[in-house]
Homo-oligomer: A and B are copies of this chain.
Amino acid sequence: MTTSWLDQSIMHTRGIGRERSIVTHELTEAKQGTFHFTIGPYSQPVMTVKPGDRIVVETRDAFDGKVKTEQDLPSKVLTMPFVNPQNGPIMVEGAEPGDTLAVHIESMAPRGPNPRGTCCMIPQFGALSGTAFTALLGDSLPEITRKIDVDEEGVYWSKRVTLPYRPHIGTLSCSPEIDSINSLTPDQHGGNMDLPDMGPGSITYLPVRTPGARLFIGDAHACQGDGEVCGTAVEYPSLTTIRVDLVKGWTLEWPRLETAGMIMAIGSARPLEDATRIAYKELVLWMEAEYGYDRWDAYMMLSQCGKVRLGNFVDPKYTVGAGILKTYLVP
């Protein structure tokens, strides 16, 4: 159904793999072996793919599967910083610093027995709690684990409320150039952006900073509200199918995203206004560079029609997407 817009997407019009016949790879838990908790250039690749290839990835949930029942409290069963396990790194042939990796999420299906979904209130974590950075002297909020049935029809939150199944990938990134960044932190490389727009149908564009790109992926959410206010989404193990492609010589400072109807620039920083500034600045410059807008016309027009998505304001950096409808980009 999304064929038409995909054909016109940046990925398909500028990616070098668009002509190739698709090869499908499987990145099972077994093949992954050791999952990663830090995203950088120092880990061992799990596979190499070509631009245009499809990869079917078995992701673990952000708790690494250790929160099995509502009696499993995070402070008991988790050991920091070993949370948010990542699949990868996946090497992409021909990727070099200065290129951009396109990641199209084709589908996300739940894995494992129900209740597959997990949401926790974790001590000293979450937007309405003192945290490691907003360091306060008060007691922590209560520690609570919720286990939730999830299928492709819905997220069965409680007897009272069923939420729609709105899957997306919380953490997606290529490796930074020399740093290795824990998988809880989003930054210029992508990372733990927790952006609900990053679901099936979307294409994320990630800056390539090391040879081979070194793609990491994990942290599937069955749904998530804007800001992920309590600190966790409905975390679940997924079967996520992606296609990757390579846009040579398209050099990004920050990740970007494209959907059928919108383009979006993504910023991650603290305080939250800085994340928003980054996203809007990147969007203005993008409109100027590639869509024929004068810089100040773009800036003033976004003041009338820009769309902001708050990804998270709970991670070590906060993430905001600033977008514009494609209908306004037509000449």
**Chain A: residues with CB nearer than 8 A to chain B?**
37-38, 40, 42, 81, 119, 121, 126-130, 132-142, 144, 146, 155, 157-158, 160-161, 163, 177-182, 188, 223-234, 253, 267, 269-274, 276-278, 280-282, 284, 295-297, 299-308, 310, 313, 318, 322, 328, 331
Contacts and interface: CB of A to CB of B under 8 A. Distances in A.
Among A161, A278, A282, A304, chain B packs the most CB atoms within 10 A around the CB of A304
27 contacts: A121-B299, A127-B273, A129-B136, A129-B137, A130-B138, A132-B188, A132-B253, A133-B278, A134-B274, A134-B277, A135-B282, A136-B281, A137-B295, A138-B141, A157-B301, A157-B304, A161-B328, A178-B180, A224-B303, A224-B304, A225-B304, A225-B305, A227-B308, A232-B303, A271-B273, A273-B313, A276-B310
Among A161, A226, A231, chain B packs the most CB atoms within 10 A around the CB of A226
A224 B47 CA distance: 47
Contacts of A132: 188, 253, 278
A270 to B, nearest CB: 4
Given A135-B277, A138-B141, A299 B178 contact: no
Contacts of A133: 269, 274, 277-278
B179 A180 contact: yes
B134 A226 contact: no
A15 to B, nearest CB: 27
Given A121-B300, A233-B304, A284 B225 contact: no
A127 B157 contact: no
Given A273-B272, A276-B313, A306 B226 contact: yes
A221 to B, nearest CB: 9
A179 B273 CA distance: 26
Closest 4 pairs (CB-CB, A-B): A225-B306, A271-B271, A226-B308, A272-B272
Contacts of A158: 297, 301
A128 B230 CA distance: 20
Nearest to A234: B304
Contact of A229 (B81, B160, B302, B313): B302
Given A276-B310, A277-B134, A313-B273, A225 B128 contact: no
A327 to B, nearest CB: 9
A140 B127 CA distance: 16
A133 B318 CA distance: 12
A269 to B, nearest CB: 5
Nearest to A37: B178
A307 B42 contact: no
Nearest to A42: B42
Nearest to A318: B273
